[in-house]
Amino acid sequence: MDANGTESVVDDRADRSSSIGERAGDLVACVVVWGAALMTAAAVQEVFTFLPGFVPWGGESPRSFLTSIGAAAGLVATAVFASFGAGTISVRVAGGRLVDGMGLRAPVSMRQTLRWAAVGAAAAVALWAMAKLLALFPGLTSVPADEDPRLIAVAQTSTPIRFMYGLIAPAPLEELAFRGPLLALLLALLAAQHRGSWTGRRWVRWSLMGTAIAASAVVFAAGHTIGGSVNVAHAVANAVITTAVTLWQRSLFPALAAHGLYDAWAFAWG
């Protein structure tokens, strides 16, 4: 091979190495921005502690609100400095990619808005029906309301505040944490299929998605053990329904609507 050919091979390898480094930097930036979004969503839960008449039932406090806001700001600052230092994508671009990957773009038409609203409402009804059915299932247990400190605190909070808390507090954090990454993974695998990459092959795609969905549901259910086995079973059903809605509609909005509507009803009226 002549000198020109050798230089070409070296240049190709350098380009590939640079491309891999840039993709890794992009991924890190998106993960950091995702972490900031999670901290912001957590702060939404904590802000209710500033409302008169709210009795914390999930560890909410003004101090934890400040901690969440501080963590979100710190992550954004880290992403900004890292992007300047390493030459990776900007925080604004990373945020845009995160929005695209997790299906958080605003609906492009009234028809899409109505479709997402209808799907979210139907999923909320399905969650409510599943909760009622699981409560009747033999072998499943639940903690009595007068023994569960969370339910005691809920009962001491006014109904309008309980409704608003359920509507806007838990869903953003949980959907961003559990369903958002699944949609991002699906879209990444579909993009790999379009490029002809081996990760886009059907068996690889289904294997990765199946494993990720199962792991997400298990971790989500593990965080709902306090209320007894009924609550765990319903958490699994919640994960299945919201995951299916998210992947079907390629957006987090229907799942956010379903989760928020169900929680609002459950917190306000049981």
DSSP per residue, 168-205: HSHHHHHIIIIIHHHHHHHHHHHHHHHHT-GGGSHHHH
Mean pLDDT score of the chain? 88
- Residues 160, 250: one domain? yes
Say yes or no: 75 and 209 in one domain. Answer: no
Residue pair 182/216 in contact (Cβ under 8 Å)? The answer is: yes
Asked whether residue 15 falls in the same domain as residue 126, the answer is no
Q: pLDDT tier at 28 (50, 70, 90 boundaries)?
A: confident
The answer on pLDDT for 149 being more than 90 is: no
90 and 130: one domain? no
Residues 204-221: tens digit of each pLDDT: 999 999 999 999 999 999
Per-residue pLDDT at 3: 53
End-of-domain residue from the set 101, 130, 157? 101
Structural domain ending residue among the three candidates 101, 135, 165: 101
Mark whether 72 and 130 lie in a shared domain. Answer: no
Q: Which of 67, 101, 135 is the last residue of a domain?
A: 101
Per-residue model confidence (pLDDT) at position 17: 44
pLDDT tens by residue, 229-263: 999 999 999 999 999 999 999 999 999 999 999 99
The pTM of this model reads 0.89
**DSSP assignment of 73-88:** HHHHHHHHHHHHHH--
CA dist., res. 34 & res. 45, Å (int): 17
User: What is the rounded average pLDDT of the residues 64-75?
Assistant: 95
Q: Assess whether pLDDT exceeds 50 at residue 12.
A: no
Stronger pLDDT, 121 or 201, i.e. the higher one: 121
- Does residue 26 have a pLDDT over 60? yes
Note down the domain range covering 216. Answer: 110-270
Number of domains in the chain: 2
